[in-house]
Amino acid sequence: MDLRHLRYIVASARNGSFSAAAHEFNVRQPIISKRIKEVEEELRVKLFVRSTAGARLTPAGEAFVIEARRILEDFDRLAERTRASGAGTLGRIVVGLYKSLSQGALRAFIDDFRERYRDIDLELLEAPFAEIIAGLHSGRVDAALILGDPGKCAVFDSLALWSEHLVVALPQGHPLADKPVIYWPELKGERFIISHHDPGVDIRNILLRHLAAPSDHPEIVTLRLNRDNILSEVGSGKGISLQCESASGLTGLGVVFRPLHDGNGATRLGYIVCWKPDNINPVLNTLRNAFKEAMLIRP
């Protein structure tokens, strides 16, 4: 007995006729009769009462069909989920990211992805850059969202995503707080507070690139604090800080945020998503395609 036998029996019971079941499956009626007889002989029980008017279930046949329907439904559900898993629309994916990147455009993307693919468990892992990269190598992390350009992690495949403005976080009473836009030269002589946590290293490199000179280096203080506490220090007048644009939505810290410009316009930070080339998780392809679609529709 196999699933084909069960489908023939259930169809015959539903139609009340072997001929109608044969028409449904586009086979000859004797084939239906033969398969049902094979089951009856195997079980040593009559499932149908045959007559010129059709086929009617016996009491044993009625009990059999109830269970047969359940088995077929379970199998069809299993097959559907397996196909979805293979297609990358069902399963689990782990995405590593810096804690400070879990807001703004990225948060909107994640919320949209989860709504669109409800059968995918998207797990976020907030961790330092080194831990995220180690996770990619080990397979514990499927994809990483980090600041940088596609060449940042040469051993991984990567995709350039959106970018955000770099903003200056200033105490509310700072002399530059009333300016709508801040230019790099105006930050000469300021005391910068950055986090030891990522993307602090990226921010430090940006500061040095724009403000360092052979005889002049900016004062940079690195603290083992998260973004919110760094901004609290700024609000207390301990210095200023550079932040991703997504930080601008934070309030109640005594801080104002102003966009940072150079001679070419706004200073921006780019995001990338990277992954190990031999990662075989089907959901990874779904995630990559979703990112590509998101980039096409972004203004």
Distance CA 193, CA 190 (A): 10
CATH of 163-269, one of 3.20.20.30, 6.10.140.120, 3.40.50.150, 3.40.190.10: 3.40.190.10
CATH fold for the domain made of 91-161+270-297:
D-Maltodextrin-Binding Protein; domain 2 (3.40.190)
168 contacts: CB under 8 Å, gap ≥ 6: 176, 182, 187, 240, 241, 242, 243, 257, 258, 259, 260
Please report, in tens digits, the pLDDT of each residue of the chain (299 residues total).
899 999 999 999 999 999 999 999 999 999 999 999 999 999 999 999 998 888 999 999 999 999 999 999 988 888 887 887 777 788 999 999 886 555 667 888 899 999 999 999 999 998 888 899 999 999 999 999 988 888 788 899 999 998 888 999 999 999 999 999 999 999 999 999 999 887 888 889 899 999 998 888 899 999 998 888 999 999 999 999 999 887 887 788 899 999 999 888 999 888 899 999 999 999 999 999 999 998 876 54
The residue with tokens 């083992």 is 224
3-87 shares its CATH topology with 163-269: no
- Judge whether 255 and 177 are in contact, CB under 8 Å: no
Torsion over CA of 13, 16, 19 and 24, rounded to 10 degrees?
-60
What are the residue boundaries of the structural domains of the chain, listed by start? 3-87, 91-161+270-297, 163-269
- What pLDDT digit, counting tens, does each position of 226-235 carry? 888 999 999 9
Give the helix ranges, DSSP H, for the chain. 3-15, 18-25, 29-43, 59-87, 104-116, 129-138, 200-211, 227-235, 282-297
Give the model's pLDDT for residue 122.
94
Residue-wise burial string across 138-166, b where 16 or more C-beta atoms lie within 10 A, e elsewhere? eeebbbbbbbbebeebeebebbebbbbbb
The answer to whether the predicted template modeling score (pTM) of the entire model surpasses 0.85 is no
153-195 pLDDT, tens digit per residue, is 889 999 999 888 899 999 999 999 999 999 999 999 999 999 9
Q: How many helices (H) and strands (E) does the chain have?
A: 9, 13
The CATH number of the structural domain formed by 3-87 is 1.10.10.10
